[in-house]
Amino acid sequence: MDKLIIQGGAKLKGSVKISGAKNAALPCMAAAILAEGKHTLHRLPHVADIKTMAKLLDYIGISVSLDHASTLNHSKEYKAEAPYDIVKTMRASSLVLGPMLARFGSARVSLPGGCAIGARPLNLHLKALEAMGAKINLEEGYINAEAKRLKGAMIHFDNTTVTGTENIMMAATLADGTTVLENAAREPEVEDLANYLIKMGAHIEGAGTDRITIEGVKELRPADHTIIADRIEAGTIACAAAITGGKITIEDCDPKFIEALLLKLQEAGCTCDIENTSRFTVHGPRRLKAVDVTTAPYPGFATDLQAQFMACMTVADGTSVIAETIFENRFMHTQELVRLGADIKVDGRTAIIKGVDKLIGAQVMATDLRASASLVIAGLAANGQTEVQRIYHLDRGYEGLDKKLVELGAEIQRVH
C-alpha cells in the first residue's frame, strides 16, 4: 500500500493545471450506455474511480479505452447488470441504473452497502424511477428495475441529490413524454452531463438550475465531449496555497465553480485574484484568520471541500465552527488532524476548531477521498514529517495530486 511522506514548511508557489472532474466524468461515462456507437470523452482524469467505471461498462458490454481521448465503444452483447464486486468498490456505479433501464428496459444493480461518510441511500433515485413507471424490487442485495419504456413524469426531489438528478435526467432522455425535475441539483457536473446529453440529441432545458425539463426522444446518437475542470481539485490546491502562505495560480478551471470557497478564503485573509474564467491566483497570508463554514448544495460551500478547509482552520488565529449539512458522518478526518496537534471538538454535525500555533508531523491514516486530501494539506503546514497512510483513497479521485504539489515546491515522497 502506498503512503506519502511529507516534510512540512514549504511555501507553495507557481502555477498548476487542473484535471478533468471525476464527478462529471463518471456520469458522462454512464451516459454512453444511452446511445450505441463510438463515444469520445476528452479530459477524463487518470484516477482509480474512472478505471472502475470503465470496468463496469466493459462488464455491461461497452469497451472503454482510457488513452488520451477516451473512447467508449458498444459491442453487440449487453448485460444490464452492475455486480456487487464492482459496486461495493464505488458507489457511483449506481449511475448506470437510469441509463440501463431507459435503454434496455431492465436493469439489475447491486445495492452499494455501507459508506464511510454517511448512509447514502438511493431511495430518491428509486422513487423517481417508480414515478416514471418502473417496477422495482429489492432482492438478494440487488435493485431489479423494469420498464418497457419509461414515461415522462413530474418529479420533486425531497432532498437535493447530485447523482439522483443525474440518474433520472439520463433515464428521462429516452422516456415517452416530458419529465420535470424539481429541487434538482445545480452542480456544474450536472450541467456538464446535460451538455453531453444534448450533443447526443437529448432535449434538456434548465440544467444548472433547480428545475430541469427533459423531453424524451426515441433514440440518441454517440457524441464527442470534453469534461469540465475538477473544482474540488482546484479548491484543494487553493487550500494548500492558503495554509502554506504560498501563492498559486490555478489554470484551466472556472473560479466561479468554487466561488463559495474563494470568498471564505478571502474572509480568512487570503488574496484571490480572478484573471478570467479559466485562471486565478490564491495568495495565503502569514497566518489565516478563523472563519465559520456551513456546507450546502451548489452554489453553497461544497461538502467535498469541508475537510480540506478544516485543515486550514486548525492553524488559523481564533476559533472556527464548521457545520456539515450534507453527510451525517463526514468528520472522520478530525481525529487524524488531532493526531497532528489540532484542537477540534465534534458535536453532532458541528466541529469547533481552535486554531493552534503549529501542527506537529505524525503518522496519520486516510479514511476517505477528501479526508486524505485534508491530511496532505495539514502535513504541508506541520513541523517535521507527516506520514499519510492508505492513500489509495486519494488515488481514487485526484490525478497525481502529490506530483502537482511537488511541482509547486512541496516536499512529498510517495513510498510504495
**Closest listed residue to residue 112, CA positions, set 91, 95, 96:** 91
Are the C-beta atoms of residues 407 and 16 closer than 8 Å to each other? yes
Which pairing describes strands 271-276 and 224-226: parallel, antiparallel, or unpaired? Answer: unpaired
Minimum separation from the CB atom of position 115 to ligand EPU (A) = 9
Q: Does residue 23 interact with ligand EPU by CB under 6 A?
A: yes
- Whether 242 contacts 265, CB under 8 Å: yes
- Alpha-carbon distances of 230 from 70, 99, 108, 331, 365, rounded to whole Å: 17, 24, 30, 22, 24
The site for ligand EPU, by CB under 6 A, has a size of 23
Amino acid, res. 253 = C
Q: Going by C-beta distance under 8 Å and a sequence separation of 6 or more, which residues neighbour residue 85?
A: none
Residue tagged active-site, from 115, 239, 270, 312: 115
Residues in the chain: 416
Q: Retrieve residue 321's grid coordinates.
A: 465552527
113 contributes a contact to ligand EPU by CB under 6 A: no
Stretch that binds ligand EPU, among 79-87, 162-170, 263-271, 379-387 (CB under 6 A): 162-170
Helix, coil or strand: residue 343: strand
**Residue among 50 and 365 whose Cβ is closer to ligand EPU:** 50
* Residue 75 lies near ligand EPU (rule: CB under 6 A): no
304 vs 399, beta carbon nearer ligand EPU: 304
Candidates 162, 241, 351, 391: give the one binding ligand EPU (CB under 6 A).
162
HSE-up of 52 (CA within 13 Å, CB side)? 24
CA distance 380 to 319: 21
What is residue 245's DSSP assignment? T
Stretch that binds ligand EPU, among 113-121, 140-148, 266-274, 401-409 (CB under 6 A): 113-121
Of positions 48, 122, 147, 184, contacts ligand EPU by CB under 6 A: 122
Of 154-162, 205-213, 255-263, 309-317, which part binds ligand EPU (CB under 6 A)? 154-162
Q: In angstroms, what is the minimal distance from the CB of 25 to ligand EPU?
A: 9
Interaction residues for ligand EPU, span 163-182 (CB under 6 A):
163-164
| Region 345-404 residues binding ligand EPU, contact defined as CB under 6 A | 369-370, 397
Q: Give phi and psi for 17, each to the nearest 5.
A: -95, 135
We find the least distance from the C-beta atom of residue 60 to ligand EPU, in angstroms, to be: 18
Distance CA(6)–CA(29), nearest Å, equals 34
Among the residue ranges 3-11, 161-169, 196-204, 223-231, the one whose residues contact ligand EPU (CB under 6 A): 161-169
Residue 328: CB minimum distance to ligand EPU, A: 7
Set of cell numbers at residue 118? 454517511
123 is an interface residue for ligand EPU by CB under 6 A: yes
**How far is the CA of 20 from the CAs of 29, 246, 377, in angstroms?**
13, 24, 21
Q: Whose Cβ is closer to ligand EPU: residue 92's or residue 260's?
A: 92
Active site residue 272: no
Q: Which of 77, 114, 119, 357 binds ligand EPU (CB under 6 A)?
A: 119
Under the rule (CB under 6 A), what is the footprint of ligand EPU?
A: 23, 26, 92, 118-125, 159, 161-164, 303-304, 326-327, 369-370, 397
Q: Which residues are catalytic?
A: 115
